[in-house]
């Protein structure tokens, strides 16, 4: 007698089981621009102060404040111009009272200078200058250390590198920073019916959509995606292709071949290894799921269902949190927001339903509109959506106008 089907596990149980086997990748110093979006693993103190030295905020003249304190357009002050300092100048300059030094933005303030008069408040003279507006004391002098002091903590462990933070680190001379690397994800479709987009379809063939869909989703999640040509439904070829890919994979994601039909190549090939568990998860779409470890290094493998919508929803729910854990990003799962349904929807009991929706932020209550049908082959509806409407296991219907939890698919988190 065949053994009875094990009861489906919940989405949360399946995710917890996966995350138990996922470990953070070891951190190392990476070039700054490679780390965009990644969290730093330790606090980053500043090795220097910013500005590094007192410097001019304007093109103008360095002066002694007291010399020009009474200058007005009617009673301008004449000063001899004794020199010129440009940004990048390394000679040490000192100035004496009764003189002016032409100075450019960013150039070091000469010793003795107590204000910078901008060009606009003068006649722009070369040998001597007419100052026709009194500055305030210290005017247009950027002080050393007023922005950052040596030892200030610039980033805390867990802060993610963005453009502004990359700029800050560069400005204190940090060109590499310790982060966990982007996970390398090998994406492999399976199915003898699959053909590479760009080629011609023969009878009963379809284009391989999943490897593009999932490779793009992996990139969006901050990973490096290696998209592999589809494997035919032949276990030996599949295992051979998989083995070839393991050297460059931190994670493998396959799609297709995990249902109950004949020719379910992934299930057939990996079941015998005993390290991959295939089970049913109480969700729709995406019921058949597999996860385990393969190869000498115990590389995590996700075997996602073949229908494109199922594979994508599974990727967002299970693979994205794993990728985030590997790089130390929190939270692991996309946060849910609430939105008002613009039309009623229904769901089957006992499964968590993820319906495609178009989310629209609105003052006074965001809205979500169901798009496409429930079918997990409906690519057009998927492409029109930017959110998943989440209906709990015990929900069978949600009426137009009610508030529902929504997972936003394009929002950084
Ligand atoms: P399977 O689980 O392999 O039986 O696949 C379920 C359904 O998804 C079948 O209709 C497949 O043709 C389709 N499918 C599987 N893989 C892909 C893919 N990479 N791109 C587009 N459709 C796919
Ligand atoms: Mg198939």
Residue 274: per-residue pLDDT:
81
User: What's the pLDDT band for 4 if we cut at 50, 70, 90?
Assistant: low
Which alpha helices (DSSP H) does 273-334 contain, by range? Answer: 308-314, 320-327
- Nearest ligand to residue 308 Cα: 1
- Match domain 11-26+181-327 to its CATH number in 3.40.980.10, 1.10.287.3510, 1.50.10.20, 3.40.228.10: 3.40.980.10
Report CA 197 to chain centroid distance, whole Å.
28
Give 321-341 pLDDT, tens digit per residue.
999 999 999 999 999 999 999
Whether the CB of 309 sits within 6 Å of ligand 1: no
Question: Which residues of the chain are in CATH 3.40.980.10 domains?
Answer: 11-26+181-327
Residue 1: per-residue pLDDT:
47
> Distance from the CA of 410 to the center of ligand 1, in angstroms?
24
Please name which of 136, 139, 147 lies closest in space to residue 56, comparing C-alpha atoms: 139
Question: Which residues of the chain are in CATH 2.170.190.11 domains?
Answer: 55-142
User: Is 345 strand, coil or helix?
Assistant: strand
Do β-strands 77-85 and 194-195 pair in parallel, antiparallel, or remain unpaired?
unpaired
Rounded to an integer, what distance in angstroms lies between the CA atom of residue 215 and that of residue 237? 21
Taking domain 336-408, whether its CATH number is 2.40.340.10 is answered by yes
Rounded to an integer, what distance in angstroms lies between the CA atom of residue 389 and that of residue 407? 6
Q: Across 136-260, where does the E strand assignment appear?
A: 141-142, 153-155, 176-179, 184-190, 194-195, 206-207, 224-231, 251-255
Give one word for 70, left, alpha or beta, with left for phi > 0 and alpha for psi -120 to 50: alpha
Give 60-108 pLDDT, tens digit per residue.
999 999 999 999 999 999 999 999 999 887 776 899 999 999 999 999 9
Q: What is the pTM of this model?
A: 0.92
- Nearest ligand to residue 310 Cα: 1
pLDDT reading at 283 higher than 90:
yes
List, in order, residues 6 or more apart from 326 with CB less than 8 Å away. 22, 23, 24, 25, 180, 183, 250, 251
> Distance from the CA of 219 to the center of ligand 2, in angstroms?
24
Rounded to an integer, what distance in angstroms lies between the CA atom of residue 122 and that of residue 63? 12
Percentage of residues of the chain with pLDDT beyond 70: 99
Q: Across the chain, how many H-helices and E-strands are there?
A: 9, 27
Give 232-254 pLDDT, tens digit per residue.
999 999 999 999 999 999 999 99
The CATH architecture annotation of domain 55-142 reads: Beta Complex (2.170)
Give 118-140 pLDDT, tens digit per residue.
999 999 999 999 999 999 999 99
Give 197-229 pLDDT, tens digit per residue.
999 999 999 999 999 999 999 999 999 999 999
Please name which of 74, 52, 69 lies closest in space to residue 139, comparing C-alpha atoms: 69
pLDDT reading at 367 higher than 50:
yes
Q: What mean pLDDT, rounded, does the chain reach? A: 96
End-to-end CA distance of the chain: 49
């Amino acid at each position: 007698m065949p053994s009875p089907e094990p009861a489906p596990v919940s989405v949360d149980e399946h995710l917890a089981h996966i995350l138990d086997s996922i470990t953070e990748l070891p951190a190392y110093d990476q070039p700054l621009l490679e780390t965009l979006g990644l969290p730093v693993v330790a606090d980053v103190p500043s090795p220097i102060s910013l500005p590094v030295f007192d410097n001019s905020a304007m093109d103008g003249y360095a002066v002694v404040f007291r010399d020009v304190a009474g200058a007005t357009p009617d009673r301008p002050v004449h000063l001899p111009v004794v020199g010129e300092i440009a940004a990048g100048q390394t000679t040490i300059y000192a100035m004496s009272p009764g003189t002016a030094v032409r100075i450019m933005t960013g150039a070091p303030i000469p010793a003795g200078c107590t204000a910078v008069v901008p060009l606009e408040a003068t006649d722009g003279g070369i040998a001597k200058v007419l100052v026709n507006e009194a500055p305030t004391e210290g005017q247009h002098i950027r002080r050393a250390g007023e922005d950052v002091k040596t030892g200030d903590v610039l980033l805390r462990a867990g802060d993610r590198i963005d453009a502004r933070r990359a700029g800050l680190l560069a400005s204190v001379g940090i060109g590499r920073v310790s982060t966990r690397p982007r996970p390398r994800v090998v994406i492999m479709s399976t199915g003898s019916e699959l053909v590479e987009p760009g080629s011609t379809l023969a009878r009963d063939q379809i284009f391989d959509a999943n490897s593009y869909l999932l490779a793009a989703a992996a990139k969006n999640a901050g990973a490096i995606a290696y998209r592999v040509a589809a494997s035919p439904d032949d276990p030996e070829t599949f295992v051979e292709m998989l083995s070839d890919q393991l050297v460059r994979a931190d994670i493998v994601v396959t799609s297709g071949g995990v249902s109950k039909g004949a020719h379910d190549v992934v299930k057939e090939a990996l079941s015998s290894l005993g390290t991959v568990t295939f089970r049913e998860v109480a969700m729709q779409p995406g019921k058949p799921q597999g996860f385990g470890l393969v190869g000498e290094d115990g590389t995590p493998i996700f075997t996602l269902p073949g229908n494109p919508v199922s594979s994508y929803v599974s990727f967002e729910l299970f693979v994205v949190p794993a990728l985030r854990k590997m790089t130390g990003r929190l939270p692991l799962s996309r946060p849910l927001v609430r939105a008002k349904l613009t039309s009623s929807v229904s769901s089957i009991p006992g499964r968590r339903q993820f319906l495609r929706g178009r989310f629209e932020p609105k003052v006074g209550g965001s809205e979500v509109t169901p798009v496409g049908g429930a079918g997990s082959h409906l690519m057009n509806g998927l492409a029109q959506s930017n959110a998943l409407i989440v209906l709990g296991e015990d929900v069978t219907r949600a009426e137009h106008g009610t508030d529902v939890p929504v997972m936003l698919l394009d929002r950084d988190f």
